[in-house]
Structure 1
Amino acid sequence: MGKAEARALSDALFERLAALEPGTHEYSYVRGTIIELNMPLVRFVAAGFRHRAADMDDILQVGTVGLIKAVDGYDHRRGVEFVTYAIPTITGEVKRFFRDTTWPVRVPRSLQELYLTVARSSDRLEQDLGRLPTPQELAEELGLAPDQVAAGLTAGRAYRSDSLDALREDSPDEPGSSLLDRLGACDADFDLVDFRESVRPLLQELPERERTVLKLRFWGGHTQSEIAARIGVSQMHVSRILAATLRQLRERLDDAGSDGARRPAPTG
């Protein structure tokens, strides 16, 4: 069936639908026939969103909801063709779907529409030029200022968020690397800075022997037996010195932390 025949049949069915009682079997049958007859409109609108990062089945499903709303809201007595009424209704439903559900970052609707316009123009120019168009070429094609095109492209980046593991080919220094590979790693020594600064004055208050044992064990990397031979005591005695000294430092650190938590914040 051609487009002209389909439109003529739709008009006849809409006239028939207007004469039927809603909720009856015949009303549901005629209404369903109109929807089936106009499904090509849904596919036509959905094709305009094929570059969006969404499954085409989802777009078709949302577009079908828009078609159903158009069928239910259409009044053939107003003299407007159903196609003229249905396409904006279907398109609006699909756009609301993308606006409300598919943007990882919330972007104003005006920027979403600008991105859509720039993306469609970019697709057309890429086919004509055989390469990606430049922002300046896009601006000339659309009659927009370059900063408007840049805003649309920026909005597109918010829509098409990439995984940190996705390989990037746009880095001349590290081609084929992922963003995750180029992120800085946490320096484990940073976690020790506060601890070292807290312990430093406590170490100065220790007796010479205890301080020497700690330095040999944790800074010098000596074993307990080596430390015992160096200071002239048994290995068991070195073990007791380490245990007692570490326990004392831990208790004093805990006390210092509690005092700091209770200490009122300075004013002025």
Structure 2
Amino acid sequence: MMIKNYYKKESKKSIEKQEIKDLFIEYEKTKDQEIRDILIEKHLYIAEILSKKYSNRGIDYDDIYQVASIGLIYAVDRFKVAKGFEFSSFATPTIIGEIKKHFRDKGWTIRVPRRIQELSKKVNNSKVHLSQKLQKAPTVKEIAEYLECTEEEVLEAMEASKVYAPQSLDITFDSSGDDKDINLADLIGEEDFYFSKVENSDFILKTMKGLNDIEKQIIIERYFNKKTQVSIAKDLDISQMTVSRIEKRVLEKLRREAEKNMII
């Protein structure tokens, strides 16, 4: 009885497999959208299985599944029955390729070179392997020797991995007894001392582009290098009075520009 049921199941699978094959052949000929939809729906389980394999890696499962489904559509459109492959064998690398591409493009908050991304993955894998082998957390030197690279490259990859799926600034921590929780932003945020100077610095740099070489040199020497008018006059082989006159003229120009732009 069990053998009979087994052959019934196998026979049913063979029929379904032939039906799917026939649908692919028909789709190749006609490009019928209804047939395409049927083929996609029948093979969505492949996208689901592969999506679960790549879940819990910093990107939501729903996003991965959506990308995997797009990969499945590409596979359906490109599949050729005449080449003799099983569709699942053809579709799997296509879908995985789309998922990995999505991870490369979206998984890293700050774009880093592909070389560093790949090394970062190797470093993380080597940490697990070496921890089991050595029964302790491996050092940078041990990781570098295992991967046959330099310690600097390992450190660079470890730093780069910090921009992969970072924590939100809105994450809260228990305040150890206080009623009020603390945000991560409250712990690491601070006012930038130079923030208020950015606009003025930008204005000065833009304005100085309109000065001639001597005017630029006098302003730079006076206000950046802290030189006296006498010293500047000696360097430029002009009188101190000329330096004073040019300086006054440039400062007046800066003042007018500042008023125009409401900087002061």
State the TM-score, normalized to the length of structure 2.
0.51
Match of 2:254 in 1: 261
Match of 1:96 in 2: 101
Shift of 1:70: 0.7
Aligned pairs for 1:25-104 (under 5 A) are 28-29=34-35, 31-104=36-109
Asked if 1:162 is matched to 2:167, the reply is yes
Partner amino acid for 2:30? P
Aligned pair in 2 of structure 1 residues 182, 97: CA closer, same or farther (>3 Å)? Answer: closer
Distance across 1 between alignment mates of 2:57 and 2:142 = 19
Match of 2:30 in 1: 22
Partner amino acid for 2:65? L
Shift of 1:119: 5.0
Shift of 1:61: 0.7
Shift of 1:67: 0.6
Does structure 2 retain, via aligned residues, the 8 Å contact 1:43–1:60? Answer: yes
Aligned pair in 2 of structure 1 residues 39, 5: CA closer, same or farther (>3 Å)? Answer: farther
Aligned pairs for 1:226-237 (under 5 A) are none
**Other structure's SS at 2:54 match:** coil
Match of 2:230 in 1: none
Show CA shifts across 1:190-212 (max 9, x none). Answer: 98xxxxxxxxxxxxxxxxxxxxx
Does structure 1 retain, via aligned residues, the 8 Å contact 2:67–2:98? Answer: yes
Distance across 1 between alignment mates of 2:103 and 2:169 = 23
Aligned pair in 2 of structure 1 residues 6, 259: CA closer, same or farther (>3 Å)? Answer: farther
Partner amino acid for 2:50? V
Distance across 2 between alignment mates of 1:11 and 1:143 = 48
Distance across 2 between alignment mates of 1:165 and 1:73 = 45
Shift of 1:5: 7.4
Match of 1:212 in 2: none
Shift of 1:65: 0.4
Partner amino acid for 1:13? I
Show CA shifts across 1:148-175 (max 9, x none). Answer: 6545433321122233454689xxxxxx
Distance across 2 between alignment mates of 1:42 and 1:4 = 26
Partner amino acid for 1:93? E
Distance across 2 between alignment mates of 1:183 and 1:3 = 64
Distance across 2 between alignment mates of 1:72 and 1:133 = 48
Does structure 2 retain, via aligned residues, the 8 Å contact 1:135–1:149? Answer: no
Aligned residues: 186
Does structure 2 retain, via aligned residues, the 8 Å contact 1:45–1:91? Answer: yes
**Other structure's SS at 2:30 match:** coil
Show CA shifts across 1:110-147 (max 9, x none). Answer: 33344445556767999x79x9964669949x856474
Partner amino acid for 1:81? E
Distance across 2 between alignment mates of 1:92 and 1:261 = 57
| Greater Rg by CA | 1
Does structure 2 retain, via aligned residues, the 8 Å contact 1:53–1:160? Answer: yes
Gaps of 5+ in 1: 170-175, 192-254, 264-268
Show CA shifts across 1:56-79 (max 9, x none). Answer: 111101100001101111112212
Does structure 1 retain, via aligned residues, the 8 Å contact 2:127–2:143? Answer: no
Show CA shifts across 1:4-57 (max 9, x none). Answer: 976984464134321354244xx623x333322322221222123213222211
CA RMSD of aligned residues (A): 4.7
Q: What is the percent sequence identity of the aligned residues?
A: 26
Distance across 1 between alignment mates of 2:130 and 2:14 = 33
Distance across 2 between alignment mates of 1:92 and 1:262 = 59
